[in-house]
């Protein structure tokens, strides 16, 4: 029935996600765009995550469950799924986040209309209990040089054409999604565009460590990306780091 629609592979790493993973999976199952596969990679959970995924996959053949035999982390788990993805498009959703039902539908229509290789969008930030605490507005477009100033592509909001970034994979570093999208835009050498929408198409659950002010530890990762992975001087890295902090603070200033 859906053979004429391009397949979207949704990549979901999961570790000890039992309290939230049904919300994430249900939001994929509720998509109005029907041509998707969900690849869930359980990263050695010691709660009921694997059992929950196994049970729901029995009733939904579009869900594929994989289990790591040793803990790999989010980056390597996503890479394992990317190696197996059969879709023409790739999307990411972590096991504690969830989507608007129209997300894939609107984004696939926008990709077809605009020709963009990557699309992304706005999202709502939530507390662990699901209480909204703000929204993050995506710019209309971004490119490699603009992305150096901040991660404007929320990982849970993005969809990209696999053919344009066939062998791109995550590196096992802090802020691995930021480095992934930087490398993607560097390869493309062209701007990419956000999907227009009257409502945010994704919901991001802020973990307890982030809410409690553990900002300094996470702030070191962009610095490492600038200095080590991109090879920028300390002066140049300071410039981009200042921009990164500024935009990070702005992201937290929007009400829902």
* Inter-residue contact 190 to 118 (CB < 8 Å): no
What domains does the chain contain, in order, with CATH numbers? 8-251 (3.90.550.10)
Token representation of residue 68:
């790591």
Residue 185 has pLDDT above 90, yes or no: yes
* Inter-residue contact 100 to 195 (CB < 8 Å): no
For residue 212, the model assigns a pLDDT of: 39
For residue 210, the model assigns a pLDDT of: 45
pLDDT in tens, 65-105: 999 999 999 999 999 999 999 999 999 999 999 999 999 99
Residue 209 has pLDDT above 80, yes or no: no
* Inter-residue contact 133 to 254 (CB < 8 Å): no
Token representation of residue 215:
């900002």
Considering only CA atoms, which of 160, 74, 76 is closest in space to residue 119? 160
* Inter-residue contact 139 to 151 (CB < 8 Å): no
Please give the share of the chain, as a percent, with pLDDT higher than 90: 81
Residue 226 is classified by DSSP as I
pLDDT level of residue 202 (50, 70, 90 thresholds): very high
Residue 216 has pLDDT above 80, yes or no: no
pLDDT level of residue 1 (50, 70, 90 thresholds): very low
CA–CA distance, 142 with 3 (Å, rounded to integer)? 32
pLDDT level of residue 58 (50, 70, 90 thresholds): very high
For residue 3, the model assigns a pLDDT of: 65
The stretch 195-211 carries a mean pLDDT of 83
For residue 174, the model assigns a pLDDT of: 84
pLDDT in tens, 27-50: 999 999 999 999 999 999 999 999
Considering only CA atoms, which of 131, 104, 119 is closest in space to residue 203? 131
Please give the share of the chain, as a percent, with pLDDT higher than 70: 92
To which residue do tokens 């995924």 refer?
53
């Amino acid at each position: 029935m859906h053979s004429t629609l391009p397949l979207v592979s949704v990549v979901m790493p999961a570790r000890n996600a039992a309290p939230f993973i049904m919300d994430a999976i249900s939001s994929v199952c509720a998509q109005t765009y029907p041509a998707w596969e969900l690849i869930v990679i359980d990263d050695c959970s010691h709660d009921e995550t694997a059992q929950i995924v196994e049970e729901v996959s029995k009733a939904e053949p579009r869900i594929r469950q994989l289990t790591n035999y040793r803990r790999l982390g989010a980056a390597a788990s996503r890479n394992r799924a990317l190696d197996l993805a059969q879709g023409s498009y790739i999307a990411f959703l972590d096991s504690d986040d969830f989507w608007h039902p129209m997300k894939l539908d609107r984004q696939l229509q926008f990709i077809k209309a605009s020709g963009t290789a990557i699309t992304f969008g706005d999202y709502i930030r939530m507390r662990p209990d699901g209480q909204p605490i703000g929204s993050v507005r995506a710019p209309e477009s971004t490119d490699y040089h603009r992305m150096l100033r901040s991660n404007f592509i929320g990982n849970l909001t993005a969809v990209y054409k696999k053919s344009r970034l066939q062998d791109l994979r995550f590196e096992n570093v802090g802020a691995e999604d930021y480095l992934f999208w930087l490398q993607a835009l560097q390869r493309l050498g062209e701007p990419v565009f956000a999907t227009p929408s009257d409502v945010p198409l994704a919901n991001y659950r802020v973990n307890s460590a982030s809410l409690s002010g553990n900002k300094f530890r996470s702030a070191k990762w962009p610095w490492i990306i600038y200095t080590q992975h991109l090879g920028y001087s300390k002066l140049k890295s300071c410039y981009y780091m200042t921009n990164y902090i500024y935009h990070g603070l702005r992201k937290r200033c929007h009400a829902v």
